[in-house]
């Protein structure tokens, strides 16, 4: 029988030179988790503290929290979350904050702003009037009724995703067509401006992927059927800092896997700290992958051709958020990008990607949150150039409080979110993609969580983890 010792030995021969300068530390763990964002950090805490399993968490950055980005104003200590903004009260989410003594509140400190619709390509005002807020909310309530019967097929996760013949027809039609079919167009501006933007062309994307970016719990949250909260102090990073403190040395920061061997008996990973170059070998009975399964991320993971054949079908989007500072912005405004063809009330017409979605006042000094929606290949540098170009267009066309040619935007913060919104083509869905994807669960001692395997929200991923953990623990 192939033993763990054998795995160690065979991996040893594959270890790169850096390790040859000294024997790497070897850690033996029940479960090793890759990725310390929403899904990985949560799973690590629960596995170790609630199920008494030894863990190691590998995180490439020097902090936990992934897409959470909390800006701290050095002068006043005030915080602003320019990445993840709030948590849906899904399942036991509130309890998870309580265990770290983090008080939560619903009080949004965002200032109330005038939304101005502008075509950022031309700088012209768009005479667009969204439906009244009561009409928007009525549409979202109706939307929830329409989608309610399908919840267990997509949430949390694809465990019950139907076989080809039973996939609801509505899942695979373009989302714009779906909204029109059920008379839900009034809901489109809210869906788009909150979390729908970023999933690709929202009018064209298959409905099931739009539902993963704004589905049941968002509809409940928007219509008051489910709470939305965030920490009362310290911003959203406060939670992940508390998790970091709790997990202590069980987290390997600034680290990625450089080599691995996965078998049905366990896994052996070589992990390099990119600051110290130190290589640690982790031998574990189970692996939980909590990063997006992209080519770059998967490269050191010893994928079989059939594993890669499935995972390589995903396409992703890139979103970018940051804080920009320039005194010519008017702090009364939320500058929102729409094409001129959206006027006066075409709710399903959106700007093509890549594009800057908005500049929104934060309430802090002159800082505006900028949201940039890239395409599958957009880079951080391209996103910053887009923001600068849009800003110049707004300046030149007199949309800001001064009309001058151009000026530099100053960046107080910037974050790349992506690859995210993993999705596949309608044909692939029909050919059993999600059944193939879930066959990976548990194979070669490896389990999978994160946005590509569930819905793209913090607490929904926690709920997904809660369902996954008993499976991971079977036989452990």
With 0-12 / 13-18 / 19 or more C-beta atoms within 10 angstroms meaning exposed / middle / buried, residue 343 is middle
- The DSSP code sequence of 58-97 is E-SSSSS-TT--EEE-TTT--EEESS---EE--TTHHHHH
Residue nearest to ligand FAD (CB): 37
Under the binding rule (CB under 6 A), the answer on residue 217 touching ligand FAD is no
Of 53-61, 260-268, 275-283, 373-381, which segment contacts ligand FAD by CB under 6 A? 53-61
Q: Is 39 annotated as a binding residue?
A: yes
Q: How far is the CB of 101 from ligand NAG (least distance, A)?
A: 4
Under the binding rule (CB under 6 A), the answer on residue 221 touching ligand FAD is no
Cα(165)–Cα(154) distance, integer angstroms: 16
Q: Do 282 and 29 form a contact (C-beta atoms < 8 A)?
A: yes
Q: Which of residues 267-286 bind ligand FAD (CB under 6 A)?
A: none
Under the binding rule (CB under 6 A), the answer on residue 157 touching ligand FAD is no
Under the binding rule (CB under 6 A), the answer on residue 60 touching ligand FAD is yes
CA 282 → CA 54, 71, 441, 475, distances in Å?
12, 34, 21, 20
With respect to ligand NAG, which residue has the nearer C-beta, 224 or 432? Answer: 224
Task: Kindly provide the b/e burial profile for residues 233-272, where b requires at least 16 CB atoms within 10 angstroms of the residue's own CB.
Answer: ebbbbbbbbbbbebbeebbbbebbbbbbbbbeebbbbbbb
Element (H, E) at 29: strand 25-34
Site string for ligand NAG, 306-345 (x = CB under 6 A): ------------------------x-x-------------
With respect to ligand FAD, which residue has the nearer C-beta, 136 or 195? Answer: 195
Q: Is 378 annotated as a binding residue?
A: no
Among 27, 67, 93, 356, which residue interacts with ligand FAD (rule: CB under 6 A)?
A: 67
Of 57-65, 122-130, 279-287, 465-473, which segment contacts ligand FAD by CB under 6 A? 57-65
CA-closest candidate to residue 68, choices 42, 44, 38, 98 = 38
- Which positions ≥6 away from 474 have C-beta within 8 Å? none
Under the binding rule (CB under 6 A), the answer on residue 101 touching ligand NAG is yes
Q: Out of ligand NAG, ligand FAD, none, which partner does residue 428 contact, by CB within 5 to 8 A per kind? A: none
Cα(154)–Cα(161) distance, integer angstroms: 6
Helix axes 237-247, 38-45, angle to 10 degrees: 40
Of 77-85, 109-117, 127-135, 277-285, which segment contacts ligand FAD by CB under 6 A? 77-85
Tokens 């979103």, located at residue? 319
With 0-12 / 13-18 / 19 or more C-beta atoms within 10 angstroms meaning exposed / middle / buried, residue 355 is buried
| Number of chain residues interacting with ligand NAG (CB under 6 A) | 21
Of 162-170, 198-206, 302-310, 337-345, which segment contacts ligand NAG by CB under 6 A? 198-206
Tokens 């075409």, located at residue? 346
Q: Residue 18: helix, strand or coil by DSSP?
A: helix
With respect to ligand NAG, which residue has the nearer C-beta, 14 or 172? Answer: 172
Q: How far is the CB of 389 from ligand NAG (least distance, A)?
A: 11
Element (H, E) at 333: strand 333-337
Q: Which residues are annotated as a binding site for FAD?
A: 39, 257
Annotated binding site: 39, 257
Q: What residues make contact with ligand FAD under the rule CB under 6 A? A: 34-40, 58-61, 66-67, 83-88, 256, 290-291, 297, 319, 321, 417, 450-451, 456-459, 461
Which residues of this protein are in contact with ligand NAG, per CB under 6 A?
Answer: 52, 89, 94, 100-101, 104, 176, 201, 203-204, 227, 229, 330, 332, 352, 354, 375-378, 401
């Amino acid at each position: 029988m192939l033993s763990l010792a054998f795995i160690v030995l065979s991996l040893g021969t594959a270890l790169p030179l850096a390790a040859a300068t000294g024997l790497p530390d070897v850690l033996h763990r029940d479960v090793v988790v890759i990725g310390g964002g929403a899904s990985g950090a949560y799973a690590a805490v629960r596995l170790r503290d609630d199920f008494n399993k030894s863990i190691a968490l590998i995180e490439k950055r020097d902090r936990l929290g992934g897409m959470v980005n909390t800006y701290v104003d050095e002068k006043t200590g005030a915080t602003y979350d320019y990445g993840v903004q709030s948590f849906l009260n899904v399942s036991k989410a509130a309890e998870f904050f309580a265990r770290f003594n983090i008080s939560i509140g619903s009080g949004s400190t965002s200032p109330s702003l005038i939304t101005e619709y502008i075509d950022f390509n031309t700088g012209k005002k768009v005479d667009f009037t969204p439906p009244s807020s009561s009409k928007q909310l009525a549409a979202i309530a109706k939307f929830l009724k329409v989608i309610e019967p399908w919840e267990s097929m997509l949430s949390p996760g694809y465990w019950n995703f139907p076989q080809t013949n039973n996939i609801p027809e509505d899942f695979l039609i373009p989302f714009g067509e779906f909204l029109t079919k059920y008379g839900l167009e009034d809901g489109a501006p809210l869906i788009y401006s909150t979390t729908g933007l970023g999933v690709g062309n929202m009018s064209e994307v298959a409905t099931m992927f739009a539902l993963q970016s704004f589905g049941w719990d968002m509809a409940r949250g928007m219509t008051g059927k489910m709470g939305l909260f965030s920490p009362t102090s310290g911003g959203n990073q406060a939670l992940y800092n508390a998790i970091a403190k709790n997990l202590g040395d069980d987290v390997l920061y600034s680290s990625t896997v450089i080599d691995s061997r996965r078998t049905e008996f366990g896994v052996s990973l070589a992990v390099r700290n990119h600051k110290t170059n130190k290589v640690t070998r982790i031998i574990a009975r189970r692996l939980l992958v909590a990063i997006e399964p992209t080519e770059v991320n998967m490269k050191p993971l010893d994928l079989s051709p059939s594993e890669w054949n499935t995972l390589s079908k995903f396409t992703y989007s890139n979103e970018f958020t940051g804080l920009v500072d320039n005194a010519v912005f008017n702090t009364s405004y939320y500058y929102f990008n729409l094409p001129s063809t959206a006027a006066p009330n075409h709710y399903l017409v959106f700007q093509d990607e890549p594009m800057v979605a908005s500049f929104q006042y934060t309430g802090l000094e002159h800082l505006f949150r900028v949201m940039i929606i890239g395409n599958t290949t957009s880079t951080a540098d391209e996103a910053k150039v887009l923001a600068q170009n849009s800003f110049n267009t707004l300046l030149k066309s007199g949309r800001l409080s001064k009309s001058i040619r151009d000026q530099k935007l100053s960046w107080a913060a910037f974050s790349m979110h992506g690859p995210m919104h993993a999705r596949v083509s309608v044909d692939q869905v029909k050919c059993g993609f999600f059944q193939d994807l879930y066959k990976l669960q548990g194979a070669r001692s490896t389990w999978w969580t994160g946005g590509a395997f569930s819905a793209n929200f913090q607490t929904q991923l926690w709920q997904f983890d809660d369902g996954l953990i008993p499976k991971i623990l079977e036989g452990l």
